[in-house]
Structure 1
Amino acid sequence: MGFSGLVYGYSLDGKGGGRVLSGDDLDKGLPENQLTWLHFDYTDADTRHWITEKSQLSDVVIDALLTEESRPRTTQVNEGLLIALRGVNLSPDSNPEDMVGIRIWIDEKRIISTRRRRMLSAKDIVDAIEAGTGPTSTGDFLAMLSSTLMVRMQDTINDTEDYVDSIEEELLSSSSYDLRNKISAVRRVVISLRRYLAPQRDALLQMNNTKVTWLTEGDRQNLREVTDTLIRYIEDLDSARDRAAVAQEELSNRLAEQMNNRMYLLSIVAAVFLPLGFLTGLLGINVGGMPGAENPWAFWIVSGFMTITVAIQLWLFKRKNWF
């Protein structure tokens, strides 16, 4: 019978390799006394049926494996761990900050993981198993999965920092409004990434502090290394966020200064032409008795007077350091 929901299935030999399991193997039952990893697409009906009816898991674990939304966390249930982790979305035409989730139930002999969207970190483990360098125990699997998630994040974190660097360099030579959109975009990316990485740090710390017997000291040391890497990534994101905020503030100040300079120039021009407008308005009234109306030199006299007026105004503005 076909089983469309099984993405990967392996019976691990404890030496880094493993045997592929199919849907037919699941119908026969899981291998006895051998570490098994089953990776499902939880949106598939076969997956939901198998996990609900045949996995022999508790209702709490079943609900967690099949839930739509999950924040990173680690919960100990007897001698097993219920874990939810996130990784960057590296699928084509996708946003890396739209992080993909993996839900895991893991105990001494079983690893059951579920996902909705493709996760490359799971494929990395499959490649390692096929090469004979895969996990040798449940604790080793947990450390390897956490490590591959961090490795996959590195390029995204570095790209984000490089993008902030380019914005800062562009800000030195330009103050265009286009920079506002770029800064807003990178801040949204940082906020989205940090939204899940902060609780993932807590999940890894909790994972390391659990009392399960199958997690060896070597596994815990590897998890601590992964946690330290994640903490550094979060610090890098905090730095990028702060730098983007400073860049946005600097850009806002420059744009405001540009606007103020333009308004100041317009104010100077308006002040220069204010008395000229008064004079032309006064001399343009259509009533009798206007002096100089019959004098052929009146226009040049008025023009010369207005020129002198403008010169006096400019001298006064300059003396008062208005420009």
Structure 2
Amino acid sequence: MTGTAFLTAYIISADGHARALEQSELTKPCQPDEYKWVHVQSDAPDSASILADLSVTSAISDALCAPETRPRAMQLDHGVLIYLRGINKNPDADPEDMVSLRIWCEKNLIVTARRKDRRLLSVQNLQDDVTSGNAPTSPSDLLLDLVMRIADRIHDAVDEIDEALIAFEEDISLNKQDRQSLADLRRQAATIRRFLAPQRDALDTLFRFSGFLEQDQAFFLREQTDRIARYVEDLDLARERAVVLQDELRNRIADQQGMRMYVLSMVTAIFLPLSFLTGVFGMNVAGLPGTESPGAFTLLMSAMGGLAVVMLIAMLWKRWL
């Protein structure tokens, strides 16, 4: 069906085995030891009707289909609504253009929603595990598995930024391409951090929801929250390191330009008296000495050369050069 919001759906049993569902089977009820996972496209025309078939209220449906989201968690009615952001690994995408994943989790149902062409590898990898018979045994376990997989991708992105900064610190150059790459790294770290800070707070809020998680699940979520907090700190440090490197680049460029101007000033100082002599003897007035002498030109050039050598020696003695 063209433009359908339905992407994938599974009925998952307590032993981790899953069975794929067609769109026409979404209204089929689960057994007491089963739950349903439905993955939808939130900006498709029929997204609201599919969510209504799952008995999702209109308020929650509107929240899942919201065009813009920031990471946060809310406990509504009999379930939990959480917005997360994951690293964008789609072709020709910037990693800092983080993909929004909207999740509604209740006792026997978990709904995940994303926008068109905004796939998350974390969700795809989880789908592969589900189809291979290694599905999480409850909706809250599936939610925590998604949180972990998203954190793993974030870890990879933060490591890439760190390795790139280490490469710059070991061999920083003054070419325009490296300066642009360093600026891009700083922008990437700032953009990812912009979403990770509220995501850390959202996971912390989820941890505090009463009755939603069991004790071992709460400990696992706390560990993932601490991971996100560390990544936020790592990105803050990466930005500071990028600023230091940019300052070092600017200082090197300024030193290089200053040295060039200094050399030009010394050359100008050496040739200044010679320019004065050529100006004097180039005047077309009567009375200039040597105008009638055949050896006057040779004498003047020798004197000017000697003067240049004397000034050069004086500058070297003064350690100006």
Report if TM-score (shorter chain) is over 0.5. yes
Aligned to 2:237: 239
Distance in 2 of aligned mates of 1:214 and 1:183? 44
Q: SS of 1:89's equivalent?
A: coil
1:273-292 equivalent positions in 2, closer than 5 A: 273-292=271-290
Q: Give the percent of matched residue pairs that are identical in Structure 1 and Structure 2.
A: 38
Aligned to 1:248: 246
Which of 310, 313, 316 is the equivalent residue of 1:312? Answer: 310
Which of 222, 225, 231 is the equivalent residue of 2:223? Answer: 225
Equivalent pair of 1:2/1:23 in contact (CA under 8 Å): no
Give the residue type in structure 2 aligned to 1:6: F
Q: SS of 2:169's equivalent?
A: helix
Report the Cα offset of residue 32 of structure 1. 6.0
Distance in 1 of aligned mates of 2:25 and 2:3? 10
1:133-156: CA deviations, max 9, x gaps?
211112211211101111222322
Distance in 1 of aligned mates of 2:3 and 2:186? 42
1:81-120 equivalent positions in 2, closer than 5 A: 81-116=80-115, 117-120=118-121
Aligned to 1:136: 137
Aligned to 1:175: 174
Give the residue type in structure 2 aligned to 1:25: E
Equivalent pair of 2:102/2:113 in contact (CA under 8 Å): yes
1:183-222 equivalent positions in 2, closer than 5 A: 183-211=182-210, 213-222=211-220
Task: Tell whether 2:65 aligns with 1:48.
Answer: no
Report the Cα offset of residue 179 of structure 1. 2.1
Give the residue type in structure 2 aligned to 1:8: T
Aligned to 1:260: 258
Distance in 2 of aligned mates of 1:133 and 1:183? 42
Equivalent pair of 1:139/1:216 in contact (CA under 8 Å): no
Equivalent pair of 2:30/2:108 in contact (CA under 8 Å): no
Report the Cα offset of residue 311 of structure 1. 2.5
Distance in 2 of aligned mates of 1:316 and 1:44? 81
Q: SS of 1:38's equivalent?
A: strand
Give the residue type in structure 1 aligned to 2:185: V
- Summarize the Cα distance change of 1:58–1:160 in structure 2 as closer, same or farther, 3 Å threshold: same
Q: SS of 1:35's equivalent?
A: strand
Distance in 2 of aligned mates of 1:179 and 1:286? 56
Distance in 2 of aligned mates of 1:242 and 1:48? 45
1:93-118: CA deviations, max 9, x gaps?
22222111110111112211110111
1:126-183: CA deviations, max 9, x gaps?
2222222211112211211101111222322222211111112221xx4333321121
Give the residue type in structure 2 aligned to 1:138: P
Give the residue type in structure 2 aligned to 1:17: H
Equivalent pair of 1:167/1:182 in contact (CA under 8 Å): no
Report the Cα offset of residue 3 of structure 1. 8.7
- Relative to the length of structure 1, the TM-score reads 0.92
Distance in 2 of aligned mates of 1:106 and 1:258? 60
Distance in 2 of aligned mates of 1:83 and 1:243? 33
Aligned to 2:25: 25
Distance in 2 of aligned mates of 1:285 and 1:60? 94
Q: SS of 1:67's equivalent?
A: coil
Unaligned 5+ runs, structure 1? none
Equivalent pair of 2:41/2:114 in contact (CA under 8 Å): yes
Give the residue type in structure 1 aligned to 2:36: T
Aligned to 1:35: 35
Unaligned 5+ runs, structure 2? none
Aligned to 1:64: 63
- Summarize the Cα distance change of 1:2–1:218 in structure 2 as closer, same or farther, 3 Å threshold: farther
Equivalent pair of 2:85/2:99 in contact (CA under 8 Å): yes
Report the Cα offset of residue 10 of structure 1. 1.3
Q: SS of 1:293's equivalent?
A: coil
1:50-72: CA deviations, max 9, x gaps?
33x44443443222201121111
